Structure 1
Amino acid sequence: MTLSPDNPITLCTPPRVLCADGARLRIAPLCRRLGWRRALVVTDRWFVQHSAEFGGLLAALRGHGVAVHVFDGGAPDPSTTLVDEATQWVAREGVAPDHLIAWGGGSNIDLAKALSVTIPNARPVGELVGHADWPVAPLPLVAVPTTAGTGSEITPGAILVQPGSATKVALMANGLRPAVAVVDPELTLTCPARVTADAGLDALTHAIESWLTKDAIDFDVEGDPDPGYSGRSELTVLFAREATALVFRHLATAFEHPQDRQARRGMARASLYAAMSYATAGLNAVHGLAYALAGLTHASHGSTNAVMLPYVMDALVDVRRDELAEIARLAGAQGADSLALARSAPVLTRELVRRVGIATDLVAFGVAEEDLPRLVADGLAVKRLAKAWPGGAVADDYARIVRHAFHGELSGCRRR
């Protein structure tokens, strides 16, 4: 698949990306080299109480002359309320960090990103959402993921739950990309099977969704000279393709044999490469509808992405046939009929979802048929994602996707 030579190429990443076994051991000396002396470490209580690696980080920082304060109130799907509470805690404690370190899953990293803005600006996060011209620039952030999937260590966004809203809100700007992304596969060895599956399918969603999204030449950046997301290019597709191949090769093994280091390394790279793609190309219907589904069911982000992904892929068979045929080949399919291959890609993706124990239709999530219009409406309300839909009429397509996801219908396999 070759994009038009007129298609723009953009790639936005953190200044430093470290990916290796033991990469976490470079954090303390690197912080000192960069001149940082006061760290606010953002994590959750599990790591404080149970992680020897986390304890090692704190000791190493102090050993290198970096003062440390720890906020351990991280929670799944951080809310705007949590961000404001953490900001107030920092003020009460008299903490004046010159950098932040996020340790944990994407939720902890997103919380730290938000704090990197609210702390220097001393304002509630609700006043900072929706624009990127903040009075004071974000504090630098070192992001250390302990799962292989979210990619938040690369992206320009902090996704937050807005209490009272059916969908999530985002702080979004290239200035929110971490200064250092530290991807250490050894930190994923203790991930429970469910977390491995959720995170791994999140990575697959990032890869495939950004591979199939709108071309950069057609992407509406609304006049922004420095957009966080700007559509796919040949460069983002290279990362997306490699990430997709790695997930199909390694996720089931990492799920079934969690101490398999080769599988863990493969998934760490898959997550990183997927993030290198989607953190510039952007996402569309899978995430838009997954946010709506999470608002309705409170199911995990990885699982809501996973259930929607095959049906979104199927809706794009006519406009992304060659890409979907290639995805099918990466999943192990053979043959010369590109249409048949394209239709098999969603089926093979759904088989992987089922293999790692995640439900494959909306009924299994407890969704009733009368909930479907609400899912469509809430998905469309995430306009930054709906505008990137590369298919036909977005409202009609979303309605069709949701209906097929409810009934478990794919064109390559009519019933699950």
Structure 2
Amino acid sequence: MTSTPPRPVSMSRERYSPGPDLSDRAGTGLPTRTGTPFGASAWLVTRHEDVRAVLGDANRFSSAGLARHADPAGRPETGLTGERQFADAASFLVGQDPPAHTRLRRLLAPEFTMRRMRALEPRVRAAIDEVLDDMRDAGPPVDLVQSFALPIPSLVICELLGVPYADRELFQQLSAVQLRLTASRQERFEAFLALRSYLSELVDRHRGAPGADLIGMLIREHDEDVSHDELVGIALVLLIAGHETTASALGAGTALLLEHPGQLAAIRDEPQCVDDAVEELLRFLTPVHSGLPRTVTADTVVGGREMRTGDLVVPSLPMANRDPGLSPAPDDFDISRKPVGHVAFGHGIHHCIGAPLARLELRIALPALLRRFPRLRLDLDPADIPFRSMTAVHGVDRLPVAW
């Protein structure tokens, strides 16, 4: 039987907030040593200024070193270890440095501009209305995660990429396995292979008849510049990132609002406050713990600590967003707060390319839910809300609600 690995300090959470052990580390103001899911030691960086420095300097802090730490024992397996093969492919785009990263990101960036988001907005609204209709027809009580938080980003990302929505349960299950640290290496690797195989077949089908979706666009306009494996990698990253993180923000965000009825009412009834409220939700919740560790490329100093070439660095996004230097009373949830430069979507060249789409979904979905169900309430004691643990994206496992 495979034992459950200890939870890294960087993944410590207590409900909506960083856990006390992570907060204690941040209290020193200095980078400290910590473990990682790969077994290697790393520097944990928590101050907002230091996190931005690490994420914003791809020359000093490489994103491409994940595979070197994935299997420290270096066990041979068909030339590379299975785990290293998984790490190489699973970190596609997010685990690349310039110029490879620059070339591919430049191809994708036009699909995530504000102009493109405005064109997508009617389809996003239609998807949300469809989900809310289904939720109404099902009647209370429902699990808001399964009935609302997961279906909305799944519908949107499926349409954006050209993935059949009927296949959503398959990719949701396979991506969840890859993000869950309690799954064995073999389970994660097999789930990755299954998802990669599915997406490879999907790319082949698109190649025969490219549509108006993102995969079809890349094939029509950049076929000579993008390989088959790169298309599969792009689809893999966007499919996982495009629904897991937004679903977590929708689920945990609704739970948080239901525990703050005054702020919930403002989002429901005052459209002018929604944009700022979404930024505060993202800052306060910060679904992603850290993203991929960075590798120091030359001896340097961060936050007063000397770091050596080859050291790993884990930037704590939730602690950076709770830095008192970023905003006063950072542990308070306050949608009237003036928006700050939070790092919920990362920073630098790896700032989440899908951030405009995630914001669009949150800005439309949350008010729509609250207006459609003005008597929405938790169907359990708030203290009993089951939060995720040992997974790369924080959120709630389920959220029973009624109205």
- State the TM-score, normalized to the length of structure 2: 0.29
Structure possessing the higher relative contact order (Cα contacts under 8 Å, 6 or more residues apart): 2
- State the TM-score, normalized to the length of structure 1: 0.28
